[in-house]
Amino acid sequence: MRNYFLGNRVRVYFIFFLSLTNSSLFVNSVSAKENSTILVDSLTDQLGKVKGEEKIDLLHQLGYEFFDIDLDSSIYFYQLGLEEAELIHDTLSQIQTLIELGYSYSNTYNASKSKEYLDRATQLSKKANIYSELYRCYTELGNFYYQLNLYDSALFYHQESLKVKERLGNTSRLFSSLNNIGLIYYKLKDFENAILYFDKALDIKLSDGDSSSVVTVFNNLGLSYTSAMQFKLAEKNLLLALKFVDKNDEISLSYIYDGLGNLYIRMNSLNLARKYLILSLELSQKTGDEYLEAYNHFHLAKIEFQNQNYGVAKDHLKMSNKLATELEDNQINLFVYNLYAAIYDDQQIYDSAFYYQKLATEAGDQIFNEGLAKNVATIQLLVQKEESQQVIAQKEQDINQRKKLNQLLVIVLILSILLIIIVTRNYINTNKINKKLSVSNYKIEKQKEVLESRNKQLAEAQHTIKHQNDLLKNVNSELEIAVRARTKELAYTNVKLEKAVKDLDDFIYKTSHDLRGPIATMQGIIKIGQMESKDNDTLKYFDTLQNISDRANKILIKLIEVHEMYQRPANLEVIDIEKSVKAGMDLAGKAELAKGIKVNYSLKKRGTWNSDRALFITIIENMINNAYLFSINKEAFVNLTVQNGSEDSLKLIFEDNGFGIMDSDINKVFEVFFKGSPRRNGTGLEIYAARIAVEKLKGRIELKRPKDNTTFEITLPTI
C-alpha cells in the first residue's frame, strides 16, 4: 500500500506556536476549502468503482480531506479503511490506518480511544517487524503523553522512536525525534539535556542544508539558553535564527523578535528589549496572533515597570488582560495580575495590590484545577482499562486450570476402562482353562471366587470414583460461584477505595487552598493595621498576628508540598551529587533560622547518581531545616556526610548538636506534625516530608542517635 498521503501530515512540537489568522491567509483558507470540497466529491464518486488497495487509498484520502472539516466524518472513513484492510489482510494498511485513527481521536480529546488504536498499531508493527511504521507509532504515543503533561512517558516513547530511526539508518528522520526530546527536557526544566538534543537536531539540518528547519532549532536553542541563564549563547542562536529566517515569514520573525526581547529583559538591556518587543508587537498585530500580542504587551509592561513608568506599564497590562480574557488564557492573566500587584505595591497602594494578588491566586488555582482534571480523568481511564485486562487474564488462568483438571479426570476414566477390559479378558481365559483342565477344577473354582471378589471390589471402586466425580463437580460449581462473588466484591471495594482516596486528595487540596485565601486576607489587614496604627502596644499585637499568620502560611505551603510528593511518581534521572547537595543546602540556607548556624558537608561519594533530583533536594533541605529549628546555642552546627552504603547504595548522614529527642518521643519522630520541643517554631512537617521523599525513592530513614549529637541516617538504594 502507498503511503503518499500519510507523510503529508508530520506532527512535530515547537516551543513557539504560530497563529495563521490574518486576512490574506483567510482568503487562501476559503479557496483551499472550496478545492477540498471538489476533491471530496470526486473521490466519493470513485469509491463504488474500486476495491482492495485502491479502495483503501481512496478511503484514506477522504479521511485526510475531512480532517480539518469534520472530524467525525474523517474518523468514519478511516474506520471503513481499517475494515477493508482487515478484510484483505493488508497488515501495512492496518497499521497506517490505526495510527491515523489514534491521531484523529486525540484531536477529539478522547484519550482512551486514541491510546487504544495507537497501542494496536504498535503491537501489530512489532509482530510484523515493520520498523518504518513502528517509529511512527512511538512518535504518536510520545505526542499523546506530551499533551497530557505526562512527560516521563512522553520522553520514553520519543526515545524509542529515535532508536528505531537509528536502526533504519536514515539520519534525516532523526531530526523530529531529537527536537521533540529537546522540547520535553525544556518542559521538565532540564535545560542542559534540552540544549544537548537541540544541538544534535541542528547538526542534522545543517548537514542536510535545510535552512527552514534550522530557524526553528536556532530559536529553540536561544530560548533554552535564555532559561539556563547563558545569555551570550542565547543571543548568538537567536541572532542566527534571525539571519536564516525568510524575511517574508512574518510569523516566525515575530516569535524570534519576542525571544530577543525576553533575553534582553533578563540581561537588563531594556532599550534593546523594547526595540525587539515593539517589532514583535507590530508583526503579531499584523498577522492576527492574539496570543503573542498579549505576551508582547505583558513584556513591554515589565520594561516600563522597571523604569518606574507606571502609567505606561498599566496601559500595556490593560491590553494584555483584554486579549487574554478574550482568549480565555488564565496563564497570561496570572502574569498580568502578579505584575499589577507589584506595581501597586511599589506605589504603596496596598488595597489595589492585595486585590490583584487575590486575582492572581484565583487564576493560578483555575490553571491547576483544569490541568489536574484533564490528567486525572485520562489516567483513570487508562487504569480502569489495565485493571479490566488483569481481571480477564485471571479468568483465563482459571479456565485453563479447570481444563487441566478435566483432562486429568478423563485420563482416570480411560485407565478405569482399560482395567475393566483387562479383568474381563482374564475371566474369559480362565473359563477356557477350566474346560481344558478339569483335573484342576477345585483350584480353578477357588481362583474364580477370588476373581469374583476382586470384581466386586472393582465395582465398589467404580461406584466410589463416580461418587467422588459428582462431589468434585459440585465443588467446582460452588468454587466458580464463590470466585464470581469475590470478584464482584473486590471490584466494589476497589471503587469505594478509589473514591475514598480521591475524596481525601480533594479534601487536602481544597482545604489547603481555601485556607490560603483567608490567611492572605488577614496578612493584608495586618499590614494595613501596622501602617495606620501609631500605638506601640497595638503594633506589638499586629506583629504577633503577623508572626502567627506567617507560621500558618508556612504550614499550608509545607502541607501542599507533602501532598504533591504523595501524588507524583518518582522521575528518575542522572543527577550530579555535589550540585544537588548544594542546591538543597542553598534552599535550607534561605530560612531565617539559618543565621549563625554552621553547615559542614563531606562528600565521600562524588560523581552522578540515578534519582529524582527534586526529591533528593527536598531530603537535604528538610533535614537541614529540622536541625536549624532545634538548635540551642551559638555554636550550633549541622554535619552532612555523603558516602557509599552497603549493596551499592548511597548513604546520607545528618548530625547536629541541637535540642535532641526525648526517649518518650523516639517512636514519634517520623510522624506528621511531630515536634520534639514545644518551644520551637517548626511546622512539624520537616522530617515527615523528608521521610515521604525517601520512601518515594524506595529508601529508608533511621534515627541512629537521639541525644548528644542527634544523628539521622538515610539510605537510598540503586534504582
Domains of the chain: 245-334 (1.25.40.10), 348-568 (no CATH), 570-716 (3.30.565.10)
Query: Who wins on pLDDT, 28 or 469?
Result: 469
By C-alpha distance, which of 561, 712, 707, 683 is closest to 623? 712
Residue 314: exposure state from Cβ atoms within 10 A (0-12, 13-18, ≥19): middle
Q: Please state, in angstroms and as integers, the Cα–Cα distance from residue 36 to each residue in 56, 61, 296, 306, 336, following that order.
A: 19, 11, 36, 52, 42
Tens of pLDDT, residue by residue over 511-552, are: 766 776 788 788 788 888 878 877 887 877 778 887 787 767
Q: Residue 52 has what pLDDT? A: 82
Q: Residue 590 has what pLDDT? A: 66
All cell numbers assigned to 48: 463504488
Residue 71: exposure state from Cβ atoms within 10 A (0-12, 13-18, ≥19): middle
Q: Residue 558 has what pLDDT? A: 72
Nearest-5° angle of CA 162, CA 167, CA 171?
65
Q: Residue 676 has what pLDDT? A: 64
All cell numbers assigned to 510: 481544597
CB-CB neighbours of 404 under 10 Å:
9
Average pLDDT of the residues in 664-691: 75
| Alpha-carbon torsion (692, 695, 699, 705), positive or negative | positive
Tens of pLDDT, residue by residue over 3-43, are: 433 333 433 334 443 322 232 333 333 344 455 566 566 66
Q: Residue 20 has what pLDDT? A: 27
Tens of pLDDT, residue by residue over 276-330, are: 999 999 999 999 999 899 999 999 999 999 999 999 999 999 999 999 899 888 8
Tens of pLDDT, residue by residue over 77-92, are: 888 888 888 888 999 9
Count of helix runs (H) and strand runs (E) in the chain: 22, 7
Residue 229 CB contacts under 8 Å (≥ 6 apart), including other chains: 266
Helical spans, DSSP H, in 310-349? 310-327, 330-346
State the pairing for strand pair 637-644/598-603.
parallel
Residue with cell 476533491: 39
Alpha-carbon distance 157 to 59, whole Å? Answer: 29
Alpha-carbon distance 553 to 557, whole Å? Answer: 6
Q: For the chain, what is the mean pLDDT?
A: 80
DSSP, collapsed to helix, strand or coil, labels residue 675 as: coil
Q: What is the DSSP string of 134-200?
A: HHHHHHHHHHHHHHTT-HHHHHHHHHHHHHHHHHHT-GGGHHHHHHHHHHHHHHTT-HHHHHHHHHH
Alpha-carbon distance 328 to 347, whole Å? Answer: 29
Residue 327 amino acid letter = L
Structural contact between residues 102 and 117, judged by C-beta atoms closer than 8 angstroms: yes
Q: How confident is the model at residue 396 (pLDDT cuts 50, 70, 90)?
A: low
Cα Rg, the chain, nearest whole Å: 37
| Alpha-carbon torsion (263, 268, 272, 278), positive or negative | positive
Q: Please state, in angstroms and as integers, the Cα–Cα distance from residue 662 to each residue in 658, 705, 707, following that order.
A: 12, 11, 8
All cell numbers assigned to 619: 531530603
DSSP, collapsed to helix, strand or coil, labels residue 536 as: helix
Describe the chain by its helix, strand, coil percentages, rounded to 5. 75, 5, 20
By C-alpha distance, which of 333, 314, 334, 316 is closest to 325? 333
In angstroms, the first-to-last Cα distance of the chain is 45
Residue 568 amino acid letter = R
Tens of pLDDT, residue by residue over 172-192, are: 788 888 999 999 999 888 999
Q: Please state, in angstroms and as integers, the Cα–Cα distance from residue 642 to each residue in 197, 512, 637, 689, 698, following that order.
A: 32, 35, 17, 20, 18
Maximum alpha-carbon separation in the chain: 140
Of all residues in the chain, the percent with pLDDT exceeding 90 is 28
Q: What is the DSSP string of 20-46?
A: --SHHHHHHHHHHHHHHHHHHHHHHHH
Tens of pLDDT, residue by residue over 98-140, are: 999 888 888 877 888 888 999 999 999 999 999 889 989 999 9
Residue 578 amino acid letter = E
Q: Residue 156 has what pLDDT? A: 93
Helical spans, DSSP H, in 48-90? 53-66, 71-87
CB-CB neighbours of 72 under 10 Å:
9
Structural contact between residues 612 and 646, judged by C-beta atoms closer than 8 angstroms: no
CB-CB neighbours of 207 under 10 Å:
10
DSSP state of 569: P
Query: Who wins on pLDDT, 73 or 38?
Result: 73
Q: Please state, in angstroms and as integers, the Cα–Cα distance from residue 388 to each residue in 49, 384, 457, 463, 668, following that order.
A: 43, 6, 51, 44, 41
Residue 201: exposure state from Cβ atoms within 10 A (0-12, 13-18, ≥19): buried
All cell numbers assigned to 160: 524509542
Of all residues in the chain, the percent with pLDDT exceeding 70 is 83
User: 486: which strand partners?
Assistant: none
Task: Tell me the backbone φ, ψ of residue 385, rounded to 5 degrees.
Answer: -65, -45
Weakest-pLDDT range from 349-358, 509-518, 611-620, 695-704? 509-518
Alpha-carbon distance 711 to 335, whole Å? Answer: 44
Structural contact between residues 296 and 284, judged by C-beta atoms closer than 8 angstroms: yes
Alpha-carbon distance 100 to 105, whole Å? Answer: 9
Residue with cell 524506595: 698
Structural contact between residues 656 and 597, judged by C-beta atoms closer than 8 angstroms: no
All cell numbers assigned to 246: 525568510
Q: Residue 256 has what pLDDT? A: 92
Alpha-carbon distance 361 to 350, whole Å? Answer: 16
All cell numbers assigned to 269: 538591556
Q: Residue 650 has what pLDDT? A: 93
Residue 200 CB contacts under 8 Å (≥ 6 apart), including other chains: 174, 178
Alpha-carbon distance 346 to 340, whole Å? Answer: 10
By C-alpha distance, which of 225, 194, 228, 147 is closest to 573? 194
By C-alpha distance, which of 271, 298, 302 is closest to 284? 298
DSSP state of 672: T
